[in-house]
A and B are shown apart, each in its own frame.
Chain A
Amino acid sequence: MTARKRQVHPRQIHLGAHFPGVNNTTVWRDPRAGSQVDFSSFEHLARTAERGLMDFFFLAEGLRLREQRGKIHDLDVVGRPDTLTVLNSLASVTTHLGLAGTINATFNEAAEVAKQFASLDHLSGGRAAWNVVTSSDAFTGENFRRGGYLAYGDRYVRGGELLDLARSYWDSWADDALVADPETGVFARDIGTVEHHGAQFDVRGTGFLPRSPQGHPVLFQAGDSDDGREFGATYADAIFTMHGTLEAGQKFTADLRSRAVRHGRSGDDLKILPGATFVLGDTPEEARANAREIRFQQVGPEQAIAFLEQVWGRDLSGFDPSGPLPSDEPEVTSTIAQGRTRMTKDPRETARAWREQAEANGWSARELVVEVTGRQQFVGTPDQVAQEMDEYVQADACDGFILVPHLTPAGLDEFVEKVVPLLQERGSYRTEYTGATLREHLGLKHPHAARPAVRASA
């Protein structure tokens, strides 16, 4: 056992439970892998997270099935539910767990989404969180009335206007607007009008709902571009990042906190929560072996080919991934993959670097893909994982993690059973829920605390 230094008041770790997603992190080949859409799967993960005293459950979204070479991508898990509907149903089988979900700012209207999140916050007693993502692709737009009308540079213009409007709706009823007093006969008064005439929205409406328990749902933001970081520092309560190493995390966290200060906020108003995978074993060797096995489940021969096709920009069916990488040069411009971000900016440079890596290590193409797409962050015994996670938080590389298990629905069971108690022993993780709302779990201010008399912006 590692000797544990107990600090008097170590920084507290916040944990979220990401439902295994529609991507190749999620292993479907394992016989224990359950349904990606049955409610029992969501309920299992949410109950496990709540047993582990986690801050929130997290559900991602994608509004069009991914395609490769003009066909629906069929190698990874496909199919997901409506985010808000699942979160509302989970509110009835949990009592403290925050309920966070991704909803796209481009393909939703302000009044509707404001009403939906306020409803979730009311019905869950203050546990709602909205991960705001922006998108501009015409590919996804084909499923919507508006189509792909949004210029890439307008993503955050729309996101900003949408959030300003949503906040106006959430503030549109004064704190004491709901009177509901049969004696005086007043049900509700002081209900404001919400009005906005901007580039993206030209609307006028009246608030539909009393203020919800959290005032505003907790806002997450995930974009990593400069625009995205500014947007997050301006609007978000929490940032869902992907920065893997401790140093990268520290740099990112410092950057976001300083941006928040520039926007007149405190650095602590922003919780930095990277997505994190983990693999446990009874010994370090066993953990590493488990991790390797999972990686090869995630990257089957077909997935390796599909991944290489995204870099090479052409059809590689028939290619043998147990041999070396393709010998010819990648196409420089290509739209082979739709519905996800292309991961490499210069495919020829990427190919050159990978060939070098593969040759130096004697890797096949598949092994190379396993290595370069590896995102297993915490691999070790429960004690090692607890210690390492704690180090990240104590060093301000982040405020905690959004755990991404690779198995649906039981992928967090072992973590909750084995790692959570060790985090508690270290003094850096709660031993009971002390608050009722997600804002309270995360240590975030109530948005109306500083300005209780706030009225609708006209």
Chain B
Amino acid sequence: MSSPAFLGVELDAAGRHPAAWRLPGARPAELFTAAHWRRLAATVDAADLDLLTVPDSFRLGSSNERDQRGRLDAVAIAANLAPLTRRTGLVPVVTTTHTEPFHTNKAIATLDFTSLGRAGWQVEVSTTAEEAATFGRKGTAASQELWREAGETVDVVRRLWDSWEDDAVIKDEATGRFVDRDKLHYVDFEGTAFSVKGPSITPRSPQGQPLVVVPVRDEPSFAVAAAHADVVRVEAPDELSAAGWASRLDQPVLLDVEVLIRRTATEALEIAAHLDELSPGHPPRTLRHLGTPDSLVALLHDLPAGVDGVVLAPLDLPATLDLIASDVVPRLGRPPFTGPASTATTLRERFGLTRPANRYAVGGAR
């Protein structure tokens, strides 16, 4: 038994279950206000979790008027939380299928500036005809195609993040130059789906390369994770298949666990059953744990081989999150994370990653 190295949480409005907004304490009228997200983030930040992630898509979410639906922009939420949190990494989803890679580049780099080095990006694809029609620029495509484009997007975004060398701004009085243009680089990226000239309009951010998180749920997404991710989120129905994915990956692997906990297992099971009655047809998308703080602690102490941590996806918020913070985290024996002495803690540092050298700099980082 060892404690998980990494602990993250997904914040999805009132929780991942579309009926969770009806539970006591859910504050459904406030789901689209900053106050709701700030309360959740304050809990996560105080519990010193490694990251929080915010899902996103261009779908309404449900055609049923009884389900939670509608969605704020995930980068907007993360940016709103940036000045109000100090420790936890902020990892919004930005989809690659319809969004401009150049915009994604500067949005995440800027989040890295406003969070003082705590930004990440979770890559996601848009699979539905509904989303394709929303943009009207191309049709739907198979997972293989969508993830190939996602891989190219990560590739070009990473290049754009390096397109300014760290010491590009020189403010040289003698020559009157603000910037040394030899340290700004065209990326000249030619992909199968798009091309981007560069350089970015945004200078290199505090982490150099914000943390790239890629979900794994099939072979095409696995290929992108293996090639481009800093950290991988694995969706798997059981421990065995999670260990299977993990054995093929070199990066830190976080297992997605849908979770609903209460003081007693009976209560947790009853609430979960109640939610499924209120809105049927939402089977688990990954391993699901219904239980108590004790049983969740036990699960976290016994992760599958090769799995370095979890992203807990509460089915309901804030009740399950509050219990995670008060009754699970303190019992994991996690030392409070402190980065290298006297420097600010970056998200990369939490995952043991250094600030990478700039690919365009002569002789590496300066």
Listed in ascending order, the chain A residues whose CB lies under 8 Å from chain B are: 28-29, 37-39, 43, 62-65, 71-72, 74-82, 84-86, 88-89, 91-93, 107-109, 111-112, 115-116, 119-120, 122-125, 142-145, 147, 173, 178, 180-182, 185-189, 191, 201-210, 300-303
Say yes or no: B69 contacts A188, CB within 8 Å. yes
Closest Cβ of chain B to A339, distance in Å, is: 10
* B80 and A79 contact, CB distance less than 8 A: no
Q: Does B282 contact A (CB under 8 A)?
A: no
Q: Please encode chain B, from 23 to 60, with 1 for each CB lying within 8 Å of some chain A CB and 0 for all others.
A: 10010110111100110000000000000000000111
Does B320 have its Cβ within 8 Å of any Cβ on chain A? no
Q: Are B80 and A111 in contact (CB under 8 A)?
A: no
Q: State the Cβ distance, B137 to closest chain A Cβ, in Å.
A: 8
- Establish whether residues A85 and B201, one from each chain, have CB atoms under 8 Å apart when the complex forms: no
Q: Is B103 engaged at the interface, CB distance under 8 Å to the other chain?
A: yes
* Interface 9-mer from B176-184, B258-266, B302-310, B326-334: B176-184
Give chain B's interface residues, CB within 8 Å of chain A.
21-23, 26, 28-29, 31-34, 37-38, 58-60, 65-73, 75-77, 79-84, 98-103, 106-107, 109-111, 113-114, 116, 130, 133-137, 164, 168-169, 171, 173, 175-181, 184, 193-199, 201-203, 278
Which of B113, B133, B135, B198 meets A39, CB within 8 Å?
Answer: B113
Question: Once the chains are docked, how many angstroms separate the CA of A114 from the CA of B69?
Answer: 17
- Looking at B22, B109, B136, the one whose CB has the most chain A CB atoms below 10 A away is B136
Known: A86-B114, A302-B176. 16 other contacts (CB 8 A): A37-B203, A63-B102, A72-B184, A75-B176, A107-B100, A107-B102, A108-B100, A112-B58, A120-B76, A180-B28, A187-B66, A187-B68, A188-B70, A210-B32, A301-B176, A302-B177
Q: A37-B113, A187-B69 are in contact. Are A92 and B34 (CB under 8 A)?
A: yes
Known: A91-B80, A187-B68. A300 touches B133 (CB 8 A): no
Contact: A75 with B177, CB < 8 Å? yes
Q: Supply 12 A–B pairs (Cβ within 8 Å), ascending by A.
A: A62-B201, A64-B197, A79-B202, A85-B76, A92-B38, A107-B100, A144-B100, A187-B66, A188-B65, A204-B133, A210-B70, A302-B177
- Whether A79 lies near B179 (C-beta < 8 A) is yes
* Residues of B with C-beta under 8 A to A187: 21, 28, 65-69
Chain A residue with minimal CB distance to B74?
A: A119
* Least CB distance, B230 to chain A, in whole angstroms: 20
Q: In the complex, what distance in Å separates the CA atom of A204 from the CA atom of B23?
A: 34
Give bound CA distance, A122 to B60, whole Å. Answer: 17
| A198 CB → nearest B CB, Å | 10
Could you tell me if A92 and B202 are in contact, using CB atoms closer than 8 angstroms? Answer: no
Q: Lowest 7 A-B CB distances belong to which pairs? A: A205-B134, A88-B79, A302-B176, A203-B136, A142-B197, A180-B28, A89-B114
Contact A63 B201 (CB under 8 A): yes
- Residues of A close to B171: CB separation below 8 A: 28-29
CB distance from B29 to the nearest CB of A (A): 5
Closest Cβ of chain B to A72, distance in Å, is 4
Choose among A78, A88, A202 the residue with the greatest number of B CB atoms under 10 Å from its CB.
A88
* A112 and B98 within 8 A (CB): yes
Is there an interface contact between A85 and B178, defined as CB atoms closer than 8 Å? no
Q: A65-B201, A74-B181, A188-B69 are in contact. Are A81 and B21 (CB under 8 A)?
A: no
Residues of A contacting B77 in the complex (Cβ-Cβ under 8 angstroms)? 88, 119, 123
* Contact among B33, B82, B194, B278 with A92 in the assembled complex (CB-CB below 8 Å): B82
Residues of chain B within 8 A of A107, CB atoms compared = 100, 102
- From B26, B81, B171, B197, name the one whose CB has the most chain A CB atoms within 10 angstroms: B197
User: Which of the residues B130, B137, B178 comes within 8 Å of A76, measured between beta carbons?
Assistant: B178
CB-based contact B70/A209 at 8 Å:
yes
The one of B58, B75, B197 in contact with A205, judged by C-beta atoms closer than 8 angstroms, is: B58
With a CB–CB cut-off of 8 A, which chain B residues contact A205? 58, 130, 133-134
Task: Check A119 against B76 for contact (C-beta < 8 Å).
Answer: yes
Given A74-B178, A204-B136, A209-B202 contact (CB < 8 Å) = no
Query: What's the nearest-Cβ distance from chain A to residue B237, in Å?
Result: 28
| B130 and A119 form a contact (CB under 8 A) | no
CB pair A209–B58 under 8 Å, yes or no, is no
Cross-chain contact of A37 among B73, B102, B202 (Cβ < 8 A): B202
- Using known A-B contacts A28-B178, A92-B84, A107-B100, determine if residue A180 contacts B21 with beta carbons closer than 8 Å: yes
Knowing A81-B110, A209-B72, the reply to whether A143 touches B194 (Cβ < 8 A) is no
Residues in B with CB closer than 8 Å to A92 are 34, 38, 80-84
Give chain B residues whose Cβ lies under 8 Å from the Cβ of A37.
Answer: 113, 202-203
When the two chains form their complex, are residues A122 and B202 in contact, meaning their CB atoms are under 8 A apart?
no
Contact A124–B178 (Cβ < 8 Å)? no
Distance in angstroms from A366 CB to nearest chain B CB is: 12
CB distance from B343 to the nearest CB of A (A): 16
Inter-subunit contact B114/A74 (CB<8 Å):
no
Does B79 contact A300, Cβ atoms closer than 8 Å?
A: no
Give the CA-CA distance A74 to B178 in the complex, in Å: 6
Interchain CA distance A207-B84 in the complex, whole Å = 29
Question: In the complex, which of the residues B60, B69, B116, B198 contacts A143, with contact meaning CB atoms closer than 8 Å?
Answer: B198
Docked Cα-Cα span, A147 to B106, in Å, equals: 18
A85, B74: Cα distance in complex, Å: 11
Closest to B278 in A: A185
Closest to A141 in B: B197
CA–CA, A7 to B277, complex, Å?
Answer: 67
| CA A187 to CA B61, docked complex, whole Å | 12
Are B71 and A208 touching (Cβ within 8 A)? yes
Partner of B181 from the list A71, A86, A145 (CB cut-off 8 Å) is A71
- A109–B179 CB distance below 8 A: no
- Choose from B58, B81, B184 the contact partner of A111 (Cβ within 8 Å): B58
A80 and B201 contacting across the interface, CB-CB below 8 Å? yes
| Known A-B contacts A112-B58, A204-B134, A205-B58; A185 and B73 likewise in contact (beta carbons under 8 Å) | no
How far is A426 from B60 in the complex, measured between Cα atoms in Å? 51
Cβ contacts under 8 Å, B21 to chain A: 180, 182, 187
Q: How far is the CB of B194 from chain A (nearest CB, A)?
A: 4
Most buried by B among A38, A178, A187: A187
Most chain A beta-carbon neighbours within 10 Å: one of B26, B180, B202: B202
A-side contacts of B103, CB under 8 Å: 82, 108
A residues near B82, Cβ cutoff 8 Å = 39, 89, 92
Distance (Å) between the CB of B116 and the closest chain A CB?
Answer: 7
In the assembly, what is the distance between CA of A108 and CA of B176, in Å?
Answer: 35
Least distance between A319 CB and chain B CB atoms (Å): 14
Cβ-defined contact, A115 with B102, below 8 A: no
Docked complex Cα distance between A144 and B98 (Å): 12
The residue on A at minimum CB distance from B70 is A209
B83 touches A93 (CB 8 A): yes
Residue of A nearest to B160 (CB): A143
How far is it, in angstroms, between the C-alpha of A77 and the C-alpha of B168 when the chains are bound? 12
- A111/B66 in contact, CB under 8 A: no
